[in-house]
Amino acid sequence: MKALVTGISGFVGSHMAEFLLRQGAEVVGTIRNRSRMDHISHLLKDIRLEECELRDPFSVESLIDRERPDLIFHLAAQSFVPTSWNSPIDTIHNNVAGQVNLFEAVRRFGLKAKIQIACSSEEYGQVEPEETPIKETNPLRPLSPYAISKVAQDYLGYQYHRSYGLHVVRTITFNHTGPRRGEQFVTSNFAKQIVDIEKGRKPPVLHVGNLQAKRDFTDVRDVVRGYWLALEKGQPGENYNIASGTCYTIAEMLEMLLSFSDVRIEVKTDPSRLRPSDVEILLGDSAKFRAATGWQPEIPFERTLKDLLQYWRSQP
């Protein structure tokens, strides 16, 4: 069983690779020449890396022709919401063109590969209180260029299944975190600031943005098991929420992180961390996914946050 992971050097990609190796799969991953390798350096003897620029159709075609994978986990993306305001066209081009190139290559070579695509709860955007927990049938009211790029990826998945019969499973993942989470994302950012303060590298002031937003967090290790199950048991063409079903305000998440540290910290709002529009609440109903695959999250949020702090404490 050969599995191709796009974006293997990223946060989710590295956990996906570890999971796939435990399943006994042959793992091939795409990287770009500027990809950082620190998340996968411990895996290099067990995986194969291929340079591929997903925005370039020829690069993708030649990869798919050479590798002909059985499973594709399409995780490569520009995934930080604020970046999508600074350069909306880059996010849209990266995320949408990259996926179209992948689908086109699979279609042209008549590959029977099963493809998981990483859609996002950001697609739901503005959610009314009576609409939570959010089901797959909820209207999409996207609030950022990133969200728009994910709506496009999601519906392209639907369209390529209906038009050409591609085996695409659309996972709509709510917030996820854990060791190796990029330091710009809120859980990791706060954890790293706490560790920098613990190590005396910065004054005891923790900078924050909007603490009122509510998010539904799942551990990345539960998420990648979900992606595997999506291809094992999910229906092609369908979309599935992957979520824990519990949400916390960002303030509550911060309190939890602070409770795992001994340092005294002052919390200060940094206006540059506020967004033009922020999704107020994301709380997911993953009953459809649980029924289709038997998936359920196993790692409690407290452990995820402790592991994340430990990750930053172990960094040089």
Ligand X SMILES: C[C@H]1O[C@H](OP(=O)(O)OP(=O)(O)OC[C@H]2O[C@@H](n3cnc4c(=O)[nH]c(N)nc43)[C@H](O)[C@@H]2O)[C@@H](O)[C@@H](O)C1=O
Smallest distance from the beta carbon of 98 to ligand X, in angstroms?
Answer: 15
Number of H helices, E strands in the chain: 11, 13
Instruction: Report how many residues bind ligand X under the rule CB under 6 A.
Output: 21
CA distance 73 to 119: 12
Q: Which is nearer to ligand X, 49 or 97 (CB)?
A: 97
Options 204, 209, 237, 245; binder of ligand X; rule CB under 6 A: 209
12-to-6, 16, 43, 252 alpha-carbon distances in Å: 10, 6, 14, 24
136 forms part of the interface with ligand X (CB under 6 A): no
208 forms part of the interface with ligand X (CB under 6 A): yes
Site mask for ligand X (CB under 6 A), range 280-309, x = bound? ------------------------------
Contact 156, 99 (CB under 8 A): yes
Smallest distance from the beta carbon of 36 to ligand X, in angstroms?
Answer: 17
CA distance 251 to 267: 10
175 forms part of the interface with ligand X (CB under 6 A): yes
Contact region with ligand X (CB under 6 A), list: 125-133, 182-190, 229-237, 304-312: 182-190
Options 22, 42, 162, 273; binder of ligand X; rule CB under 6 A: 273
Contact 127, 282 (CB under 8 A): yes
CA distance 15 to 173: 15
Q: Which is nearer to ligand X, 4 or 213 (CB)?
A: 213
Smallest distance from the beta carbon of 313 to ligand X, in angstroms?
Answer: 20
Q: Which is nearer to ligand X, 150 or 167 (CB)?
A: 150
132 forms part of the interface with ligand X (CB under 6 A): no
Q: Which is nearer to ligand X, 74 or 215 (CB)?
A: 215
Contact region with ligand X (CB under 6 A), list: 2-10, 205-213, 241-249, 307-315: 205-213
Q: Which is nearer to ligand X, 107 or 275 (CB)?
A: 275
CA distance 31 to 9: 7
Smallest distance from the beta carbon of 201 to ligand X, in angstroms?
Answer: 18
The per-residue DSSP string of 244-279 comes to: -S--EEHHHHHHHHHHT--S--EEEE-GGG--SS--
**Tokens 């289709």 found at:** 292
Closest by CA to 241, choosing from 291, 200, 275, 196, is 291
The alpha carbon of residue 196 and the mean position of all alpha carbons in its chain are separated, in whole angstroms, by 25
Instruction: Write out the residues near ligand X by the rule CB under 6 A.
Output: 79, 81, 120-122, 174-175, 184-186, 189, 208-211, 213, 215, 250, 273, 275, 278
